[in-house]
Amino acid sequence: MKKRIGILTSGGDCPGLNATIRGVAKACYEMLGQDKVEIIGVCDGYYGLIHNICREMKPEDFSGILTRGGTILGTKRQPFKMMTVIGEDNVDKVKNMKLTYHTQKLDCLLTLGGNGTHKTSKLLADEGLNVIGLPKTIDNDIFGTDVTFGFHTAVDIATDAIDRLHTTANSHSRILLCEIMGNKAGWLTLNAGIAGGADIILIPEIPYDIDKVCASVTKRSKSGKNFSIIAVAEGCFDVDEAKLKKKERAKRRAEAGITTATNRIAAQIQKNTGLEARVCVPGHMLRGGAPSAYDRLLATQFGEYAAQLIKDEKYGMTVAKVNGKITANKLEDIAGKTKFVEKDCQLVTTAKNIGISFGD
């Protein structure tokens, strides 16, 4: 009897999704037998699961995708908080996802995604479906795993962006701020900031004092250094905003006509120090392109381990890397939890000990 395995990619895309899909498929074919496996690709994430947009994959579909960015299955964002809400379209999303699972005669479903994806994976597992998660995000903020695939590639790209700002900042005697993705967690900005030689790093976990940021810039200027590089996580906020709830912060910024935290910081630096400040936003370039060698290896390992879980029929799990070892966590133990940068973690300490300011 053939084992039918569904695979979907949900949330934001990132390098390594296709490498993981390939790892799962090749390992399943090898361990279970190619003639005993049918892989069903669910298109456009949970949207495809809700609307039964699926296609049966062939072995050749998984060839040549190790180095390919994005996702061959497509992806859409389906916010978890709306999964149990029946909207104007009158669609019961949970009921439909279960119906697609059974209509497609799936033995299990693999979900590749971030925090929201894992919360929905747990919801489906609680509904009785056989689900296995695979941790994907450039933010590296999934609880219970040291690293997620996509993260290291994004660090490389963000580092390259910061690298390129040094010469132009020096040439024009400017303060250049590089805005890096990361609404809740600052792992990407922290790693790229250190690797790219940033002078100041601002992340959500460490609210900044704009006066201290300006003081750091002024100190460098007075020491004869004619430029500064600031790595800014898009979700960072100052010490005053730290006292407010998320909606209150958003409302205050909207009323002040502030588009992003980075633009506000640049304006404040220029006003308070008299030094010219400019903003650079790599944006979605951090998600694009081929995965790095590290992510290709990690994705392949994650995919192979997921195949082992399928073989052993261990469901309700998500793959992880802990202390250098590929393992798995129960979905119920990690879904809904975020891995934040701790203020006294070794990377932050290292950065501070080489003179990088966090504006705190």
Tell me the CATH number at 249: 3.40.50.460
pLDDT higher than 90, residue 257: no
**Nearest-angstrom CA–CA distance, 76 and 43:** 9
- Tell me which residue range forms the domain holding 104: 3-150+291-334
**pLDDT average, residue stretch 126-132:** 97
> pLDDT averaged over the chain?
95
**Nearest-angstrom CA–CA distance, 245 and 4:** 45
Q: Are residues 10 and 135 in the same domain?
A: yes
Total structural domains in the chain?
A: 2
The position carrying tokens 């809904």 is: 336
How high is the pLDDT of residue 158? 97
Q: Are residues 299 and 162 in the same domain?
A: no
Q: Of 287, 317, 349, which residue is a domain's last?
A: 287
Look up residue 293 and give its DSSP letter. Answer: H
Q: What is the pTM of this model?
A: 0.93
How high is the pLDDT of residue 254? 78
pLDDT higher than 90, residue 260: no
pLDDT higher than 90, residue 251: no
Q: Are residues 7 and 143 in the same domain?
A: yes
290 burial type by CB count under 10 A (0-12 exposed, 13-18 middle, 19+ buried): middle
Q: Are residues 166 and 29 in the same domain?
A: no
Q: Select which of 13, 44, 107, 139 is catalytic.
A: 139
Look up residue 204 and give its DSSP letter. Answer: T
CB 41 within 8 A of CB 54: yes
| 334 confidence band (pLDDT: 50, 70, 90) | very high
How high is the pLDDT of residue 200? 97
**pLDDT average, residue stretch 184-207:** 97
Q: 139 an active-site residue?
A: yes
How high is the pLDDT of residue 280? 95
pLDDT higher than 90, residue 77: no
Helix axes 93-103, 115-126, angle to 10 degrees: 70
| 87 confidence band (pLDDT: 50, 70, 90) | confident
Q: Are residues 278 and 328 in the same domain?
A: no
